[in-house]
Amino acid sequence: MGGRKKTLMGMAALMLLTAPTGAQSWAADGPGTVELGSLANHYSAVTFDHAMHVGVATSCADCHHHTTGLAPTDPNCVRCHKAGAQAQSVSCKDCHSDKRFSPEDLEKTGGNPQLYHKGKLGLKGAYHQKCLGCHTTMGGPTGCQDCHARNDQGDAFFHSGKYAPAPKASGGHGGGH
């Protein structure tokens, strides 16, 4: 966790040095809200308040890495993407596959010796690591249902809600015995 703090501090320092003008154009370019529905089988879609998050973040690069043209905040990324190479799309789902670990995805990543970002997260992982990572340090909500309400199918999946098991007298049986 110490690493993350350092990253944030380094990021702040970088921001002061490199991008004072870019910062003013943040809110104007971004969408107001984004519907995130990749977990629709268990959860209702998340309405992501992009505008609000723009106000909280220190830089677009906090979430969008180098794709908006700003210098990335992770010192590791800066080694290559020094100035921030603007990408054709800044949308998460256009780079982070929602079919992560599917045979096709594995062929594309594992089978390509030229590829540097072999460990690039899938869409779901990218969302959650980014959201939860920041929410944890910034004190945002971290519970699953703080962001997306679980639907009936989800309740069944988790054996929760009306699908919750009847409480047992012998609960707390760990299984060693």
Partner 1 sequence: MNSLQSQGFAPIVSHLKKDGSEWTVKEKLLLGLSPKEYWAVQLRNPFNWVLWVIYAVGLPILVGRFIYGLGWVTHSSYDYPWGLFLGWGLFTMVPLSASGFMMGTTVELFGRKDFKPLERLGLLNGLLGYLFAVMFLQVDLGQPWRLIYPMFVSLGPAAVLFLVAWHVATYLSCQVAELVPAFAEWMNFPKAKQFIKKIVLGLTVAGIILSTLHQGALGALFTYAPGKVHPLWYSSSFQWFQFFVSAVFAGLSMLIVVSTLSKWFMRWRCDETYLNNLSKLTLGLAKGASLALITYLVIRIIGIAHDNDWQYLATGWGAWFMFEMVVGVILPLIFYTMAVRNSNASLARFSAFLAVFGLALNRLNTALITFNWQLYQEIPHWREVVIVVTVYATYIVVYRAILARMPILYTWKENK
Partner 2 sequence: MKKLHRRSFLKGGLAGGAAIAAVGTSKHAEAAGSFGGYPDSMGVLVDLTKCVGCRTCEAACNKEQGLPAPDKSFDDPSVFEEKREGGLPRRTTEKAYTVVQKYDVPGREHPLFRKVQCNHCNEPACLTSCFVNAYKKTPEGAVMYDHTVCVGCRTCMVACPFYIPAYSYSSAINPVVKKCIMCYDTRLKFGKPPACVEACPQEVMTFGKRKDLLKMAHQRISDKPGAYVDHVYGETEVGGTAWMYLSDVPFDKIGYDTHLGDQPIISYVKEFLTIVPMVLTIWPALFTGFHLLSNRKEALKNEDTKS
Site residues, partner 1 (CB under 8 A): 175-177
Specify the residue, 3 or 174, whose C-beta has the smaller distance to partner 1: 174
Is 121 one of the binding residues for partner 2 (CB under 8 A)?
A: yes
Query: Facing residues of 17 across strands?
Result: none
Burial 99-111 (b: 16+ CB within 10 A, else e): ebeeeeeeeebee
Is 55 one of the binding residues for partner 2 (CB under 8 A)?
A: no
Is 132 one of the binding residues for partner 2 (CB under 8 A)?
A: yes
Is 69 one of the binding residues for partner 2 (CB under 8 A)?
A: no
What is the distance between the alpha carbons of residues 56 and 59, in angstroms, rounded to a whole number?
9
Per the CB < 8 A criterion, the answer to whether 121 and 129 are in contact is yes
Per the CB < 8 A criterion, the answer to whether 22 and 70 are in contact is yes
The footprint of partner 2 (CB under 8 A) covers 1-3, 39, 76, 100-103, 106, 109-110, 118-119, 121-122, 124-129, 132, 136, 142, 144, 157-160, 163-165, 168, 171-177
